[in-house]
């Protein structure tokens, strides 16, 4: 990619491309699918088919993000932002107005938040596949577990949903803290891909869109196959 494309000039300084398009689309799709899973639960059993679809989308998006953390562009990679406790401790002053500097990728603390969200969502969506609502609906893999075990997994599905609500509240709270207290808007870069105040050497060199599409297609195909080959199940009341 041309240098000019990677670092755009403009009012208030250059904006450097740090978040690739697949990561950005993935983030907002994930937020929409998670919100959809909660809203459809609140609507009730009639919305269950959409609940299952939202949850399955979460599964694919999280699996995509985990793979993207290995093969994606620089700042999407886990090696770019997963740090040990010492680095997290040392980074704490950068979360105060006096010590704050914009950085290209996630902060060490933000990196753990990302892993926590992805982990909770992966477990939650997987549990949903085996869950049942005690009335009429079952997850598409219910046939592998049935009865008692499915009931237990359903209870965990309910508990982890609460943990996700807390994690998302913290996540959005952190974005607000950055905006209000540290004076940095993190949301806009997650829409445009570009951040101000970042050295051009930190710019990503490619967005790897074709690779992202291939991974996404393979994951959708894999999930479709897993669901299609699952045993038939009748709710065991
Ligand atoms: C259910 C809703 C949401 C989920 C599950 C979620 C999840 C995530 C994940 C996994 C990341 C890491 C991005 C990556 O490296 O791929 C992230 C980053 C981010 N999210 Fe969300 N998100 C949600 C909603 C929101 C909302 C509503 C906002 C707006 C306030 C937001 C703002 C951000 C920002 C600013 C970052 C980048 C943080 C940074 O620069 O280090 N998210 N989110
Ligand atoms: C991250 C994704 C998901 C979220 C946030 C989520 C959220 C929820 C919530 C809040 C409930 C109500 C729990 C309760 O009342 O105790 C629920 C129930 C349920 N969900 Fe999900 N869900 C997700 C994914 C899935 C998936 C992928 C499936 C299956 C395809 C699924 C199937 C079910 C079933 C069968 C129930 C009824 C279980 C019960 O009432 O205890 N969910 N879900």
| Cα 28 to ligand 1 centroid, rounded to whole Å | 8
For residue 82 the two structure tokens come to: 């997963």
Nearest CA to ligand 2 atom 24: 55
**Phi and psi at residue 8, to the nearest 5°:** -90, 135
Q: What domains sit in the chain, N to C, each tagged with a CATH number?
A: 3-228 (1.20.950.20)
* Range ranked top by mean pLDDT from 1-5, 125-129, 202-206: 125-129
- Residue 180 pLDDT more than 90? yes
pLDDT of residue 232: 86
pTM: 0.94
19: Cα within 13 Å, side-chain hemisphere: 23
Q: How many residues does the chain have?
A: 237
- Residue 77 pLDDT more than 60? yes
Ligand 1 surroundings by CB, under 6 angstroms: 23, 27, 30-31, 34-35, 65, 76, 106, 110, 114, 117-118, 168, 171-172, 175, 186-187, 190
| Cα 72 to ligand 2 centroid, rounded to whole Å | 30
pLDDT of residue 195: 95
Asked if 168 contacts 175 with a C-beta cutoff of 8 angstroms, the reply is: no
Neighbours of 1 (CB within 10 A): 11
Average pLDDT of the segment spanning 212-235: 94
Q: Which atom of ligand 2 is nearest to the CA of 132?
A: 35
Q: Model confidence at 234, in pLDDT bands (50, 70, 90)? A: confident
């Amino acid at each position: 990619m041309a240098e000019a494309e990677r670092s755009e000039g403009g009012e208030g300084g250059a904006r450097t491309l740090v978040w690739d398009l697949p990561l950005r689309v993935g983030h907002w799709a994930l937020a929409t699918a998670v919100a959809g899973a909660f809203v459809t639960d609140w609507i009730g059993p009639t919305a269950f088919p959409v609940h299952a679809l939202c949850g399955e989308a979460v599964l694919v998006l999280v699996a995509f993000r985990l793979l993207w953390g290995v093969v994606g562009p620089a700042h999407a990679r886990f090696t770019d932002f997963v740090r040990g406790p010492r680095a997290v401790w040392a980074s704490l002053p950068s979360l105060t107005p006096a010590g704050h500097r914009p950085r290209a990728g996630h902060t060490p603390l933000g990196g753990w938040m990302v892993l926590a969200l992805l982990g909770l969502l992966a477990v939650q969506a997987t549990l949903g596949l085996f869950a049942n609502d005690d009335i009429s609906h079952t997850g598409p893999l219910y046939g592998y577990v049935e009865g008692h075990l499915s009931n237990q997994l359903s209870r965990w599905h309910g508990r982890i949903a609460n943990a996700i609500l807390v994690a998302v509240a913290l996540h959005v709270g952190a974005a607000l803290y950055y905006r209000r207290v540290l004076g940095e808007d993190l949301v806009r870069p997650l829409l445009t891909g570009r951040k101000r105040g970042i050295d051009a050497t930190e710019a990503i060199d490619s967005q790897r869109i074709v690779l992202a599409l291939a991974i996404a297609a393979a994951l959708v195909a894999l999930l479709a196959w897993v669901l299609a080959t699952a045993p038939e199940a009748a709710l065991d009341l």
